[in-house]
Amino acid sequence: MADGTVKTWKDLDRFVKEVYGSPGKDLYDRYVALIEGFKEKYGKAPEIIGRSPGRVNLIGEHIDYEGYSVLPMAIKQDTIVAISESGDDKVHVANLRSGFSEEDFDIDPAALVADTVNHSWVNYVMAAYIGACQYAGQRPTRGLNILVEGQVPHGSGLSSSSALVCASALAFLAMSHTGHLVGAEVAQFTAECEKFVGTESGGMDQAISIMGELGMAKLVHFHPIRTEDVTLPDGAIFVIANSLAVSQKAVSAAKQYNLRVVECRLAAALLGLRLGVSKDKARELRTLREVEDLVREKWNGPKGSVMGAESEVVRKLLDKKVYTHGELEKELDMELEDMFAGNPSQLASIKAAHDRDVGGFNLRDRAMHVYSEAARVLEFKAACDSPTLTSEQQLEELARLMDDSHASCRDLYNCSCDELDELVRVCKKAGARGSRLTGAGWGGCTVSLVPQDKVEQFIAEVKREYYMAEVNRKGGLPKEEVKKDGKKVVLWEKDG
Ligand code: NG1
Ligand code: MG
């Protein structure tokens, strides 16, 4: 959370260099465009600009909301939010890019509700506003003018949503003179407040967006949020490639993302029951991480930890792959609609599954994924830290873990899609040692570990094999850009 007072264009130049680690005329120009756009729209310069980046998750998918540590890094692509006081009592929100609605909302945070059916991008700004008012313990007495500029491609699994929430929250806090900000606290409240938009997310994206550092991956722990630095081995270049399939997470939450959160909660309840806790207690279990503690206390079957791909416990206790709505209600001795009544987003997922008559919940595979993925994250960190492995051996281990992670996301968690699987295949063929989907999945990006000396060749081949094939299929040419983030990330995105 770098901060600085910018009074002149020269200050701005220095600030941009400091934040992004490399002089970039395009970056400087972007701030100028935001300031000029703001003046044009609202008649005066902004008082504050909040900034927060997107992220790429190297490993640890769909386990943050289960309480397990993840290993992301921030990317250079970010969202910047310019703000100043307005003359009235509304918060006015606009976007510098075209194609975004312009909206107002009330300055009383208690009056705000998110329309999660007709989802709007302004919900994220609203979420940050509510969170920041709560954190600051006050709300503004005057209205605000806001202009946003975001570079993180939408629905790409690079967390454009959290970049917007975090940048907005920082801008609001600065406007309310909240004083010294503690990164972990801001990460915590932004993770909570983003749920306002209707996704039951964990805290990974907000944590790395707020607490990420240039040139450094982080192991992010939860409850409470804290991070450990991860130094990646020499020769590790992570290349992000966009599958161009847009993952509309907030829109399809009930059938995809939130449904997974629900399935994990049901798996935890069932595992709890079968470990001998009471029905009341089992229904109160929220995460698979809580079950891990129960296993330590109560499991007296064959040895072998709950973690890892060979989770003896899950295999033995969840003897069937799929459990139907009715079976679960019988075992838990409660209607699922009642069990989830306290959480509208989760309840919507239960209802959507019921309405669609999906036949049941694949609890064993979901739990297998979570425990094995949690173990892979720790192995990834251990390989990075290993004093005995050569860099070559480290890279080999990271690549294996990334490949296993993708297979688990695809086969056990069912959060991949044809485009992502095809892109992973192309990336591997083009020389990636390991490749996997990153972020929630169902579209969005892959991240590949590519040997340093093969990056150019890799990009050329992926362009030919994936993007040209896409162009032929879709009949248009995506605008491509290649950008370097510090030493480690090359982002390849389709603009807009
Ligand atoms: P995306 O959809 O990639 O921004 C989401 C969640 C994360 C995490 C990943 C899956 C939000 C804001 N982020 O990321 O917390 O659960 O999916 O690992 O919902
Ligand atoms: Mg997101």
242-266 burial: b if 16+ Cβ within 10 Å, else e: bbbbbbebbbebbebbbbbbbbbbb
Tokens for 333? 């001795």
Ligand nearest to the CA of 222: 1
How sure is the predictor about 117, in pLDDT bands with cuts at 50, 70 and 90? confident
Summarize the confidence of residues 435-460 as an average pLDDT.
96
Kindly tell me if the per-residue pLDDT of 302 is higher than 70.
no
Of 19-23, 29-33, 38-42, least confident by mean pLDDT is 19-23
Kindly tell me if the per-residue pLDDT of 269 is higher than 90.
yes
Q: Given ligand 1 and candidates 240, 257, 445, which is best to mutate, with the most ligand atoms within 8 Å of its CB?
A: 257
Nearest CA to ligand 1 atom 17: 440
Give the per-residue pLDDT at 61.
Answer: 98
Neighbours of 389 (CB within 10 A): 16
Identity at 431, one-letter amino acid code: G
* 51 pocket-lining for ligand 1 (C-beta < 6 Å): no
Percent of the chain residues past pLDDT 90, beyond the cut: 72
Q: How far is the CA of 162 from the centre of ligand 2 (A)?
A: 6
Q: How far is the C-alpha of 496 from the C-alpha of 490, rounded, in Å? A: 18
Q: How far is the C-alpha of 324 from the C-alpha of 203, rounded, in Å? A: 30
Give the per-residue pLDDT at 492.
Answer: 46
Q: Per the residue annotation, which of 205, 403, 404, 485 is the catalytic one? A: 205
* 470 pocket-lining for ligand 1 (C-beta < 6 Å): no
How sure is the predictor about 2, in pLDDT bands with cuts at 50, 70 and 90? low
Of 184, 212, 256, 190, the residue nearest 58 (C-alpha): 212
Neighbours of 72 (CB within 10 A): 29
* 153 pocket-lining for ligand 1 (C-beta < 6 Å): no
Atom index in ligand 1 nearest the CA of residue 438 equals 3
DSSP H helical segments within 69-153, as ranges? 122-136
Kindly tell me if the per-residue pLDDT of 300 is higher than 80.
no
Kindly tell me if the per-residue pLDDT of 487 is higher than 60.
no
Nearest CA to ligand 1 atom 16: 62
How sure is the predictor about 258, in pLDDT bands with cuts at 50, 70 and 90? very high
At 158-196, the pLDDT tens digits run 999 999 999 999 999 999 887 788 999 999 999 999 999
At 70-103, the pLDDT tens digits run 999 999 899 999 999 998 999 999 999 999 999 9
* Whole-model pTM over 0.90: yes
Ion ligand 2, residues whose Cβ is below 5 A away: 159, 161
Q: How far is the CA of 120 from the centre of ligand 2 (A)?
A: 14
* 64 pocket-lining for ligand 1 (C-beta < 6 Å): yes
Atom index in ligand 1 nearest the CA of residue 202 equals 15
* 62 pocket-lining for ligand 1 (C-beta < 6 Å): yes
Give the per-residue pLDDT at 22.
Answer: 67
Kindly tell me if the per-residue pLDDT of 335 is higher than 60.
yes
Name the 3-class secondary structure at 354. helix
Q: How far is the C-alpha of 39 from the C-alpha of 418, rounded, in Å? A: 45
